[in-house]
Every structure is written in structure tokens, then in C-alpha cells.
Amino acid sequence: MRRATYEKGDRRVGYLWVLPALAFMVAFIGYPIVYNLILSFQKVDVMNIKTAVKPFIGIDNYKEIFSGDVLSTSVMNTLFFTIGCLVLQFSIGFALALFFTSGFRLQIRLRGLLTVAWMVPSTVVALLFKFMLSPSCGILNYILVGIGILREPIGWLTSSSTALWGTIIANTWIGIPFNMILLTAGISGIPDELYESAAIDGATSAQRFFWITLPLLKPAMYAVLILGFVYTFKVFDLIYVMTNGGPVHATEVLSTYAYKLSFERFHFSEGAAAANVLFACLFIVALGYLRLVRGDEEIRA
């Protein structure tokens, strides 16, 4: 009985402690989201942004953007871009993480050097890759033509079929160190005793990898993938600088589309609706992640 009241009092104090954080979240995270949601159901454009008359028009903005083909192109591009980047940067990052935890001299220094890619501002990376992928002066075409893989240079960013790959290559380059560092931390966290005892029991290195490293690395992998997904899904500056969504929407992603609707064409409500589509996609992914993590914890418990 006494314990129950104690808990109750504790909980009340607890609410008090979370109050500042809650207020912060409501003001700085909740308000923009709600405002954007309201905006997406109103008709706000060049004619009435400054007037008080902002009529509600239901889901007309969503109808409008879904009726065009740019939104579906953007959604598909965003998904393709995200999954393409995740697969590449995760597998390469994982391989490098394994390599850099194998225990050789200079490994910490070399690993540090590799993280430079992640520290370079993405607009700079975008410009670098724009030059490297150029058909007239880019090094990639020079090499590929030089060793005979290509007969003539490809305009990576100017052809609709390769432009998205061009941006994926650039973003993968940024993402590899991020994956590598987090996975390295995860691998270093696995106690050496486990490997030693497995080795004594006669486990091969493949067995040790699949039965020790992979299962124990699962939480780190989830974290890397979900963070990578969110980070990649809302890509903006890289694509804005490299291709500006072009040629002809071939690299248009949800964020660039929403930006252009709002700030280049002044269709503020439609821009808000497009941004909400982006938000909804990420929200679903986040819910899925929470479920996955919770399920995992329950199994372990």
C-alpha cells in the first residue's frame, strides 16, 4: 500500500521533470507540424498569403498534387534514392568496419581519415561530384573510357536514366563513414571472450561472424539503418545543387518538389501538402522501427 502511494508521488514529480522538454517539443516541433498540416488544407498562394482570408478547401491540395505525375515520380525517386544509398553505403560501410576492427597498425588513423567524407558539407560534395561526373571534363568518364569499359563518355547527370545514379553515388560517398563508424563501435562492443570461447569450441571464422557478430550487432544495425533512412529520405541540398531535380524531374525528390512548389512557384499550400507526404512516409518508417525494436526487446526479455 505504502509502495503504491510512493509511486504515485514519484510519477507526479516525474511529470514535472518532463514538463520543460514537453514544452520545448510542443513549441518547436509540434507547432510547425500542426501549422504545416493546417496550411495544406487551406488555399494559400500568391494572391492571399498576406490577407487574413485563408479559406479551407479540404483535400483539394492533395488532389491537385496527386493528379499530376510529378508527385508520384518524386515519391518513386525518393524511395529508389534512399534504398539505393542504404544498400550501397551499408554494405560498403559494414565491410570497412570489419576491416578496421581486424586489428592492424594505423587502423585508427586510417579510419579517422575516412570520416573526412562525412564532414565535408554536402553542397561541396555535390559540386565535387558534379565535376567528376561531367562528360566533358569529369574524371569518372576519363577512367571508364581509358580502361575500355565505355566507348564514349556518359553524361551521368544530364541523362534521365543515369542522373539518379549519379546522385546516389555522391550520397553513398558521404554515407559510408557514418555507417562505418557506428558499426565499428558496435563491433568493438562485442566482448572478445565470446570469440575466444567460440574458437576453442572449434567455430570457423564464418561461423563466428554469422553466430556472434551479426546477432550481437543487430541493435547497432537497426540504428544505423533507421538513421540512414531518415537522413537519406529527406535529402535536399545534395540534389538541389547537383541537378536541381532535373533533367525533367528525373532526380526530383519530395523535398525539392515541395521546396519548388512553395518558394519558386508560390503555391504554399500545395508545397505544404507535398511536405506532409514526405512527413507521412517517415512517420510510418519510424513507427515500424519502434515496433521492431520493441519486439526485439520483448523476445530478449
Partner 1 sequence: MRKFLLLSIGLVMLAGLCFAQPVEIKVWHYWGGFEAVPFQAVIDGFNASQTKAKAVAQYLPREELNRQYTIGLAGGNLPDVAMVDNPDHASYAAMGLFLDITDRVKAWEGYGKFFEGPWLSCTYQGKVYGVPQNSNCLALYYNVDMLKAAGVNPPATWDELAAAAKKLTKSGVYALAISAIGNEEGTFQYLPWLLSSGATITKLDSPESVKSLTFLTNLVKNGFMSSEVINWTQADAEKQFATGRAAMMVNGPWNLQAVQTDAPSMNWYLAKIPKDKKYTSVLGGENMGITATSQYPNEAWSFLKYMSGTSVMESYMTTSGKFPPRSDVMNGSDFWKSDRLLKVFADQMQFAMPRGPHPRWPDISNAISTALQEALSKTKTPGQALKDAQVKVTKALSS
Does 248 participate in binding partner 1 (rule CB under 8 A)?
yes
Provide the 3-class DSSP secondary structure of residue 8. Answer: helix
Query: Number of C-alpha atoms within 13 angstroms, CB side, residue 42?
Result: 18
> Distance between CA atoms of 109 and 18, rounded to whole angstroms?
41
Which of 216, 246, 292, 293 touches partner 1 (CB under 8 A)?
A: 246
Does 51 participate in binding partner 1 (rule CB under 8 A)?
yes
The identity of residue 167, as a single letter, is: T
Sign of CA dihedral 291, 292, 293, 298: positive
What distances in angstroms separate CA 269 from CA 56, 97, 173, 220, 251, one per listed residue? 10, 45, 35, 39, 23
From the list 11-19, 100-108, 130-138, 222-230, the region that binds partner 1 by CB under 8 A is 130-138
Does 38 participate in binding partner 1 (rule CB under 8 A)?
no
From the list 13-21, 151-159, 173-181, 211-219, the region that binds partner 1 by CB under 8 A is 151-159
Closer residue to partner 1 (CB): 78 or 262: 262
Does 34 participate in binding partner 1 (rule CB under 8 A)?
no
Does 245 participate in binding partner 1 (rule CB under 8 A)?
yes
> Distance between CA atoms of 257 and 33, rounded to whole angstroms?
18
Closer residue to partner 1 (CB): 127 or 282: 127
From the list 180-188, 200-208, 225-233, 256-264, the region that binds partner 1 by CB under 8 A is 256-264
Does 40 participate in binding partner 1 (rule CB under 8 A)?
no
From the list 46-54, 72-80, 96-104, 211-219, the region that binds partner 1 by CB under 8 A is 46-54
Which of 49, 87, 199, 287 touches partner 1 (CB under 8 A)?
A: 49
> Distance between CA atoms of 16 and 238, rounded to whole angstroms?
42
Burial call 20-46: b when 16+ CB within 10 Å, e when fewer: eeeeeeeeeeeeeeeebeebbbbbbbe
Q: Which of 240, 232, 224, 218 is nearest to 278 (CA)?
A: 232
Verify cis geometry, omega within 30 degrees of 0, for the bond prior to 215.
Answer: no
Does 268 participate in binding partner 1 (rule CB under 8 A)?
yes
Closer residue to partner 1 (CB): 11 or 265: 265
Backbone angles phi, psi at 56, to 5 degrees: -80, 130
Give the number of residues in contact with partner 1, rule: CB under 8 A: 29
From the list 15-23, 88-96, 153-161, 229-237, the region that binds partner 1 by CB under 8 A is 153-161
Which of 10, 192, 201, 264 touches partner 1 (CB under 8 A)?
A: 264
As measured in angstroms, the least distance from the Cβ of 234 to partner 1 is: 17
* Residues in touch with partner 1 (CB under 8 A): 46-47, 49-51, 130, 134-137, 155, 157-160, 243-248, 250, 260, 262-266, 268
